[in-house]
Amino acid sequence: MRGWTAALFLFGAMPLGGCVAGMAVGAVSALGSAAAKGGSHADPNIDVGPDARAACTARAASEGPAHVIDVEYRGPGKAIVWGTIGEGAGRRSFECRWAGKIVGFTLRAIGKAR
């Protein structure tokens, strides 16, 4: 009797085996893709421009009067802000990389006009 019960259980579980295996593969795939995305889960619908502009302007203002020229979006939660610092012959350009916070700031001299 015990052998028949085990055989019935195995044959009865076979049609469900593919379904369970498919569910397991789907769960592992979902976990893998979530882990691959990393810790940052930026919402692509959020406009980071105002935050990036404000933070980068504040950082640039520590060097002198700052003027933002452009804000370019580089993906969810990321932007690059370009601008100038100072006036006249001492004016310099800056590039500020934003990813929820300032992750890079570059200051360059502006060449003489030709």
Query: Is the per-residue pLDDT at 55 higher than 80?
Result: yes
| pLDDT one-digit tens code per residue, 62-93 | 999 999 999 999 888 899 999 999 988 889 99
Report how many domains make up the chain: 2
Classify residue 79 as left (phi > 0), alpha (psi -120 to 50) or beta. Answer: beta
What band does 103 get if pLDDT is binned at 50, 70 and 90? very high
How long a stretch of residues is the chain?
114
Q: Do 53 and 95 sit in the same domain of this protein?
A: yes
Residues 53 and 34 in one domain: no
pLDDT of residue 96: 97
The DSSP code sequence of 7-33 is: HHHHHHHHHHHHHHHHHHHHHHHHHHH
State whether 62 and 33 are in the same domain.
no
**Could you tell me if 24 and 53 lie in one domain?**
no
Whole-prediction pTM: 0.58
For residue 93, the enclosing domain spans: 49-109
60 DSSP assignment = H
pLDDT at 75: 87
pLDDT bracket for residue 9 (50, 70, 90):
low
Strand order, beta sheet including 102-109: 66-73, 79-85, 92-98, 102-109
* Cβ contacts of 3 within 8 Å, gap of 6 or more: none
Q: Is residue 27 domain-shared with residue 59, that is, in the same domain?
A: no
pLDDT value of position 5: 58
Does 93 lie in the same domain as 62? yes
On whether both 86 and 57 belong to a single domain, the answer is yes
Same domain membership, residue 30 and residue 54: no
Task: Answer yes or no: do 56 and 26 share one domain.
Answer: no
Contact 43, 78 (CB under 8 A): no
